[in-house]
Amino acid sequence: MLSIFDDAQTRLTSVFQHIDLDNDVRERLRRPSLALTVSIPVRMDDGRLQVFTGYRVQFDDTRGPTKGGIRYHPHVSLDEVTSLSFWMTIKCAIVGLPFGGAKGGITVDPRELSRLELERLSRGYIRAIADVIGKNRDIPAPDVYTNATIMGWMADEYSQIQRQQVPAVITGKPLHLNGSRGREAATGQGALFTLEQWLKTQNKAPESLKLAVQGFGNAGYHFARLAKEMGFQIVGVSDSKGALFCEEGLDPDTLMEHKRTHRELKGEIYCAASVCEQTQKHYQQMTNAELLEADVDILVLAALENQITSDNAANIKAPLILEIANGPVSSAADKILEQRGITVLPDVLANAGGVTVSYFEWVQNRNGFYWEEQEVQERLERIMKKEATAIFDLATERQSSLRTAAYLQGVQRISGAMVEKGTQDYFNNK
């Protein structure tokens, strides 16, 4: 079985069939420039010392300082973080940001920690990686199970180490700690802009389409909320503990309120509330796996990588898949879905809204001048729709999948930067 990174690298195979790349570029895209593993000792509330393992991988900085989130999850590994840094490298190039790709993480279940333990862990992680990050070198941001509060702790810890305020070292911070308006919803909003642009090419209206959202975290929730406002019917949602499905439609705001209260999505909890007394809707409880195979128009993947594999790809009924998570469809599953005529709006394009608004935050932090939310939204919409249209046109021109076209656009930009710095052909006077 391929590692996550080896599987991620196979995405380049089809790209290489469409572009004549210098061998220097191929070599540099095969491995990260830096991979750091650190130990983080934390004094727990009961007095014992627990040591956690953390990672920071910088894949490539040819186009600028590296950029990428930090995730807290029990299954975080160096292999996973390396893959995520690779995808970030491609993603930043796809939407034209002056960044390379990086990623970080800690192997931990944050739900098992108190808030004080979580703060100690977060600050300890920054102390461990402080030498390899910075506003001109590597700029972290939130990812799975991290949030604005954690980013605020991290930015503060880095500033204490540097003995000066350095807000641009971390993005995704709270507004009162120099965060950007629109950042919290940016990943979901960017994905919706991508979906909206695709549906225009298909002459389809949101009101006629049913969505299921696998992964009801920050990105999945904001996507569902905004999609409902646009007219889409949200019929299914899931988190790590289960899924709810309702043909008559679900309300994302009400679901999130219950999730925050009860920490899970369960039919009996949701329907015990007054909302169920006021409606005649019937809610079906199901597993995450069952939601993936639901009969819907659009399946939105907003959880973790490898949710659709060769084991279940043949069972997917949705004709359109939107990837908000990183790598939710394996390379083997991609081939099966393509053979079945299922369209995939790829992660490296669809979820780029988060890093794009992180870029806006970085720019605002460096300039000391902050934008209103409308300006953030307008800038995000302009970038996402422009790059999405270019990729859709490229896929038509090359008769390729949307994923191949997206990677082709990103790799061409990375290659251009690498070639400008000199390659074997240049030094051999060719």
Catalytically annotated residue among 103, 173, 228, 259: 103
Catalytic: 103? yes
Q: What is the distance between the alpha carbons of residues 56 and 125, in angstroms, rounded to a whole number?
A: 10
The catalytic residues are: 103
